[in-house]
């Protein structure tokens, strides 16, 4: 019998393999009956996993670690994407005419981040720190990706931390310019996003997890050889207009996750005071 699972995903293009796996029947082939649900606010996913309204949720490390730190026990079952120098999809964009060129120029400026203490926010702080800039002298403002361009143009922000396609859009309209792909300067090929489940579910569903990974592996391979067809899944699952989809490059996909990749995040979260309890990376990744 098929195992029924519901995957909750956010509006990012890093989950294309899951769309492909669903459309191409790779999930079904691996014994999974999958429903895909789009979740507008990513931080609600851990709660939904706990309450069993989702079986699998797409997450970034800060949210995942914060949940575990506060007693919501989740484990990673598969990776989704890496951020690599070869294919950087995130950067810091400054307002045209602002003369921001290097890390030190951000002091005293207002920077828009999607979710304070979120993924971009932490990486950017780390980047500043690596360049010996005190991130506490930078003002961070919560700003969703779609609004960043308008907020820069309107003078509410001096800079922002968008991902694609918003980086391209902002640069394209000449509202701002790319200063640096700071995430990949912090670390190359780090784990950017992944699929997680509640620990309880993971304990009873080893076979399903295996099948899930197999399906994704197949989907990643398919996407590599048929990038255009893979891209098109975003029209259905992300509701993006076709012209946007065509211009958008695919992310760097991954499936296997090693505890060391999580350790990178755990250390950084501890550094910024986001994790306070004694979490162990071995407990955070499903076997």
Partner 1 sequence: MKAAWLAASVAFAAALVALWQVAADHGLVSRVFFPAPSRAFDFLGEWAASGELWGPLAGTIWRTLAGWLGATLLGVALGAAIASSAVTRDLFEPTVEFLRPMPSSAMIPPAILLLGLTDGMVVAVVVFGSIWPILLGAIHGFRSVEPRLMELARTLRMGRMHRLASIALPNALPEIFAGMRVSLAIALIITVVAEMLSSRPGLGQMILFAARNFRSAEIFAGVFLLGALGYFFNAVLERAERHFLRWRPAVGNG
Partner 2 sequence: MTLRRLLLGLVFPVALLAAWEVSVRAGLLSEDVFSRISRIVPALLEGLADGTIVARTYETLAAALFGWAIAAAIGIPLGLVLGLVRPLERLTLVTIEALRPVPSAALIPIVLLIFGFSLELDATVAAFACLWPVLIVTTGAVRGIEPRLLEVGRALGYGALARIWHFALPAALPGIAVGLRVAFGIAIVVAVTVEIAANPRGLGYAMITAQQSLRAEVMYAYLFWIGLVGWLINVAMIRAERHWLRWYWAARGAA
Name the site residues for partner 2 (rule: CB under 8 A): 8, 11, 37-41, 44, 47-48, 50-54, 72, 144, 146, 150, 238-241, 244
Which residues, numbered 144-183, are part of the site for partner 1 (CB under 8 A)? 144, 147, 150-151, 154, 156
* Closest approach of partner 1 to the CB of residue 122, in Å: 13
Token output for 193: 């996003």
Token output for 218: 């197949």
* Closest approach of partner 1 to the CB of residue 263, in Å: 20
Between 136 and 174, CB nearer to partner 2: 174
Q: Choosing among partner 1, partner 2, none, which partner's interface includes residue 40 (Cβ < 5 to 8 Å by kind)?
A: partner 2
DSSP label at residue 251 = P
Token output for 222: 């398919």
* Closest approach of partner 1 to the CB of residue 67, in Å: 5
Measured distance CA(76)–CA(263) in Å, rounded: 13
Instruction: Kindly list the strands in the beta sheet with 74-83, ordered across the sheet, starting from the edge strand earlier in the chain.
Output: 32-38, 3-9, 56-59, 190-198, 74-83, 252-253
Residue 279 within binding range of partner 1, rule CB under 8 A: no
Q: Choosing among partner 2, partner 1, none, which partner's interface includes residue 11 (Cβ < 5 to 8 Å by kind)?
A: partner 2
Residue 115 within binding range of partner 1, rule CB under 8 A: yes
Residue 48 within binding range of partner 1, rule CB under 8 A: no
Q: Find where tokens 């989950």 sit.
A: 15
Label residue 108 left, alpha or beta by phi (over 0 means left) and psi (-120 to 50 means alpha): left
Q: Is 250 helix (H, G, I), strand (E, B) or coil?
A: coil
DSSP label at residue 42 = G
Pairing label, strands 176-180, 110-113: unpaired
Q: Which of 28, 48, 66, 263 binds partner 1 (CB under 8 A)?
A: 66
Measured distance CA(233)–CA(239) in Å, rounded: 9
Residues that bind partner 1 (CB under 8 A): 43, 46-47, 50, 63, 66-67, 69-72, 115-117, 141-144, 147, 150-151, 154, 156, 274
């Amino acid at each position: 019998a098929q195992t029924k699972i519901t995957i909750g995903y956010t509006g990012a293009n890093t989950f294309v393999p899951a769309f492909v796996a669903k459309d191409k029947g790779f999930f079904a082939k691996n014994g999974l009956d999958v429903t895909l649900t789009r979740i507008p606010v990513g931080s609600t996913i851990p709660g939904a996993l706990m309450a069993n309204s989702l079986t699998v949720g797409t997450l970034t490390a800060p949210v995942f670690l914060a949940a575990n730190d506060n007693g919501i026990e989740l484990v990673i079952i598969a990776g989704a994407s890496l951020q690599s120098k070869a294919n950087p999809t995130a950067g810091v964009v400054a307002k045209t005419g602002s003369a921001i060129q290097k890390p030190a120029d951000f002091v005293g400026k207002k920077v828009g981040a999607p979710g304070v203490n979120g993924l971009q926010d932490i990486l950017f702080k780390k980047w500043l720190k690596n360049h010996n800039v005190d991130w506490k002298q930078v003002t961070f403002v919560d700003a969703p990706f779609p609004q960043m361009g308008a907020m820069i143009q309107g003078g509410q922000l001096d800079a922002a931390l968008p991902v694609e396609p918003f980086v391209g859009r902002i640069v394209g309209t000449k509202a701002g310019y790319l200063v640096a792909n700071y995430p990949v300067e912090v670390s190359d090929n780090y784990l950017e996003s992944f699929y997680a489940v509640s620990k309880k579910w993971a304990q009873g569903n080893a076979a399903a997890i295996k099948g899930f990974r197999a399906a994704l592996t197949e989907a990643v391979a398919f996407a590599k050889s048929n990038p255009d067809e893979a891209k098109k899944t975003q029209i259905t699952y992300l509701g993006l207009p076709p012209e946007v989809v065509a211009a958008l490059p695919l992310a760097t996909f991954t499936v296997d996750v090693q505890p060391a990749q999580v350790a990178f995040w755990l250390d950084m979260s501890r550094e910024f005071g986001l994790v306070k309890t004694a979490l162990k990376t071995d407990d955070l990744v499903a076997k």
